[in-house]
């Protein structure tokens, strides 16, 4: 690609992927409302609030692909979620349509299907069961991706990310953990395949305990290399196992399923 846009560049995943993805394009355009530091070689910094339609239109101009990490990344009040994840995703796809940007990695979330039980194994085609306003906003984003694919041919992989952190640090994360390295190779594959279409894929490493079945997207050719199993002893030693009826062990979305609707 000539230019790849990474939104949410000041956040956890944006910071981690900034270097790991730099080989994908001549120029990496980084955007966020937070501090992204100085531009490195072949980088350009463009601060932008995703809720600002005019600014997002300018942001996307000249980009061939987008890795969309930006937005409210957990449960919160509706006006914050609406601005970043609802208006924000509409603004992003409208800008893609106007400027012919045809491939997007959308950082969706396992919280789009958080009310499935941990005793179930689900695939990427199940009916969503979001576990909060945040989860609903991710389902909305996936549907926006579908609409812009059907009408305008814009291709998207909506990645229902599990828990993408340096290492798993509780028992639920033994199922949901996604290493930074595995996320980076997944994004590489998403931009490499000649035809992507519009698809959903769960983002978890090669953990032996799992809730998610990616076999229907095996055509992507992504093979995670890391496993939460390597951290099992450490997790057992450092965190207490929740009671059998605790949300963290009943539902795939864990504690998000027990969260209230946030008023402010
Ligand atoms: N890290 C995970 O385990 C995980 C799991 C599931 C989904 N995700 C999704 O992946 C993405 C990145 O997650 P993260 O862990 O890096 O979260 P993060 O909160 O560290 O990063 C999100 C970034 O988005 C920016 N942002 C928020 N509102 C914005 C707005 N209105 N305009 C522009 N930028 C805005 C924030 O400033 C922040 O830097 C998020 O969309 C999140 O929902 C992450």
What does the pLDDT look like over 67-123, one tens digit per residue? 999 999 999 999 999 999 999 999 999 999 999 999 999 999 999 999 999 999 999
Q: Which of 90, 134, 175, 202 is catalytic?
A: 134
Q: At how many degrees (to 10) do helices 12-20 and 180-192 cross? A: 60
pLDDT score for 264: 74
Average pLDDT over residues 242-249: 94
**What average pLDDT does this structure show over 187-195?**
98
Query: Cβ(105)–Cβ(156) under 8 Å?
Result: yes
Cβ of 159 closer than 6 Å to ligand 1, yes or no, is no
Among 21, 50, 70, 253, the mutation site with the greatest number of ligand 1 atoms within 8 A of its Cβ is 70
- Residue at 264 is within a domain: no
Mean pLDDT of 52-71: 98
Let me know if residue 224 belongs to a domain: yes
Number of domains in the chain: 1
Domain interval for residue 211: 3-258
Indicate which CATH number applies to the domain containing 8. 3.40.50.720
Percent helix, percent strand, percent coil in the chain, to nearest 5: 40, 15, 40
* pLDDT tens, position by position, 135-145: 999 999 999 99
Assess if residue 14 is contained within a domain: yes
263, part of any domain: no
Per the structure block, which two tokens stand in for 202?
């769960």
Residue 167 is predicted with a pLDDT of 98
How far is 198 from 104, CA to CA, in rounded Å?
A: 9
Which ligand 1 atom lies nearest to the CA of residue 73? Answer: 43
Rounded Cα distance, 252 and 247, in Å: 9
pLDDT tops 90 at residue 263: no
Query: In whole angstroms, what is the distance from residue 121 CA to residue 116 CA?
Result: 9
Mapped onto helix, strand or coil, the DSSP state of residue 85 is: helix
Residue 191 lies in a domain: yes
Mean pLDDT of 44-63: 98
Alpha-carbon distance 19 to 211, whole Å? 30
């Amino acid at each position: 690609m000539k230019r790849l846009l990474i939104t949410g560049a000041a956040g956890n995943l944006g910071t981690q992927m900034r270097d790991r993805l730099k080989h994908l394009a001549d120029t990496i355009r980084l955007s966020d409302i937070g501090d992204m530091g100085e531009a490195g070689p072949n980088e350009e910094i463009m601060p932008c609030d995703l809720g600002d339609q005019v600014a997002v239109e300018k942001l996307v101009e000249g980009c061939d692909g987008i890795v969309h990490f930006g937005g409210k990344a957990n449960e919160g009040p509706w006006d914050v979620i609406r601005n970043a994840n609802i208006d924000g995703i509409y603004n992003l796809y409208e800008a893609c349509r106007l400027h012919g940007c045809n491939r997007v990695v959308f950082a969706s979330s396992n919280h789009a299907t958080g009310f499935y039980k941990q005793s179930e194994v689900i695939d990427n085609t199940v009916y969503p069961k979001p576990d909060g306003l945040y989860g609903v906003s991710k389902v909305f984003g996936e549907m926006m991706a579908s609409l812009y694919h059907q009408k305008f041919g814009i291709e998207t992989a909506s990645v229902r990310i599990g828990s993408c952190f340096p290492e798993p640090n509780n028992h639920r994360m033994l199922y949901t953990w996604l290493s930074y390295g595995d996320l980076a190779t997944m994004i590489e594959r998403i931009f490499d395949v000649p035809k992507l279409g519009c698809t959903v894929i769960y983002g978890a490493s090669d953990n032996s305990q799992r809730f998610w079945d990616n076999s229907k997207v095996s055509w992507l050719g992504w093979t995670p290399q890391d496993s939460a199993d390597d951290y099992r002893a450490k997790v057992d030693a450092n965190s207490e196992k929740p009671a059998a009826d605790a949300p963290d062990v009943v539902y795939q979305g864990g504690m998000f399923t027990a969260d209230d609707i946030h008023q402010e």
